[in-house]
Amino acid sequence: MDAQKTAPPPAPRAVSCARLHRFVVEALRRAGLSDADAGVGADVLTTTDAWGVFTHGTKCLRGYLRRLKAGGLRAAGRPRLAAEGPAWGIVDGDSALGMVTSVLAMETAIAKARQCGVAYVGVRNSCHFGAAGYYAWLAARQGMIGLSMANDIPSVAAPGSRGGVTGSNPISYAIPAGRHPPLLLDMSIATVAGGKVYAARSRGERIPDTWLVGADGRPTTDPGGYPDVGALQPAAGHKGYGLALLIESLAGILSGAAFTWRVGTWMWDDGTQPTHHGAAFLAIDTSVMMPAPAFARRMEALVEEIHAAPRADGVERLYVPGEMEWERHARATREGILLPADVTASLEEAAAMTGLNCSEFIP
């Protein structure tokens, strides 16, 4: 009887941010990236893990390596500014690592916003770019408001549809908040991440009826057919659906990228082919509109007003978006990142793909 009991999951393993960063850099270098591009990719993925967003951090490295090896991601790809005006630009990603293209695009938006106050930069010929919040934060740490978003292959239903109509299309904003950490929201437009559906299916569990629609377009508690049958439900119904189309318009249509079913899936499609994802980045230089100290004071007042709002019984604290992530980041910087077992297993596969000894980096 005891032998039939489910073994407890392995305990998370702690690794310093610096060691994890070095591991990702070395893996990407062995896949053909330059030192500079490998460093960009490592910074995005390690920062995301430090925030505690393990679905979009170094766990994704294995998938990027697979595409780099196959050629759908180009290790020697060189993103470039293909068209521009004073307050806008279009970056062609050249099928390079999505993080490299996205950092270039947001840095371009920041530079243009310094001249014009507000700037938009769209991206075409890109791939999965990881956590949208990283790029919005690039603007916030320069004292600007940042927005980032991307499209994806459809996996989310529209109200009344029988299958996917839009991608899960992530969107993020970051807003500097004076002496407080930047406000930081990073969300997809689906009710729940597809990974949670996969996990429930693997455990043989039913799911809440707010997660999926089945083949008939009706809510279902059976995850068994996903993703071949049915689709994720949009967050807040028509509201999430409407937001998905805004993201599609800015990241896919306006940028000249692929959109809806023309986008490839970076995880499952032929690794030899580019996915043609689109993305969009906006930067707002608040100092053009009011003195920077005044904006900081007003943001501080907003955060403190929310902190001081009456709380429901049993609630110890009210948070603004991003506070939990910044607290995790500070703890990870001091004590290391506690990597869940599935992340560690994925990194071990990444090490095997590149001839690295994972234990040299992750004890």
* CATH of residue 280: 3.30.1370.60
Report which of 67, 79, 76 is spatially closest to residue 108, judged by C-alpha positions: 79
Which pLDDT score is estimated for 199? 76
Which pLDDT score is estimated for 125? 98
Query: Tens of pLDDT along 229-282?
Result: 889 999 999 999 999 999 999 999 999 999 999 999 988 888 999 999 999 999
Report which of 41, 260, 266 is spatially closest to residue 165, judged by C-alpha positions: 260
Ordered DSSP codes for 231-261: EEPBTTTHHHHHHHHHHIIIIIITTT---GG
pLDDT exceeds cutoff 70 at 138: yes
Query: Tens of pLDDT along 149-182?
Result: 999 999 999 999 999 999 999 999 999 999 999 9
H or E stretch at 84: strand 80-85
Q: Decide: helix, strand or coil at residue 76.
A: coil
* CATH of residue 336: 1.10.1530.10
In a domain, 91, yes or no: yes
> 89: which 2 tokens?
């630009």
- The DSSP secondary-structure symbol of 190 reads B
pLDDT exceeds cutoff 50 at 3: no
In a domain, 164, yes or no: yes
Percentage of the chain modeled with pLDDT above 70: 97
Residue 8 binned pLDDT confidence (cut-offs 50, 70, 90): low
pLDDT exceeds cutoff 90 at 129: yes
173 shares a domain with 85: yes
Which pLDDT score is estimated for 5? 52
In a domain, 321, yes or no: no
Which pLDDT score is estimated for 1? 40
Give the Cα separation of 144 and 147 in Å (integer): 10
Which pLDDT score is estimated for 12? 73
Report which of 62, 115, 123 is spatially closest to residue 96, judged by C-alpha positions: 123
Q: Is the peptide bond prior to 227 cis by the omega test (within 30 degrees of 0)? A: yes
Active site residues: 128
In a domain, 165, yes or no: yes
181 shares a domain with 104: yes
123 shares a domain with 59: no
Query: Tens of pLDDT along 186-208?
Result: 999 999 988 788 878 878 899 99
Query: Tens of pLDDT along 280-308?
Result: 999 999 999 999 999 999 999 999 999 99
248 shares a domain with 136: yes
In a domain, 351, yes or no: yes
135 shares a domain with 50: no
In a domain, 217, yes or no: no
Which pLDDT score is estimated for 7? 56
249 shares a domain with 127: yes
Q: Are strands 337-339 and 231-232 parallel, antiparallel or unpaired?
A: unpaired
Asked whether the beta carbons of 150 and 247 are under 8 A apart, the reply is yes
pLDDT exceeds cutoff 60 at 54: yes
- 336 lies in which domain range? 10-70+326-363
Domain count, the chain: 2
58 shares a domain with 100: no
Which pLDDT score is estimated for 2? 47
H or E stretch at 113: helix 98-116
The dihedral sign for the CA sequence 316, 317, 323, 327:
negative
120 shares a domain with 63: no
Nearest 5°: the CA angle 309, 310, 313 is 140
Report which of 201, 210, 261, 215 is spatially closest to residue 237, judged by C-alpha positions: 210
Ordered DSSP codes for 200-234: HHHHT----TTTEE-TTSSEES--TTTTTSSEEPB
In a domain, 220, yes or no: no
Q: Considering the entire predicted model, what is its pTM?
A: 0.94
H or E stretch at 53: none
93 shares a domain with 49: no
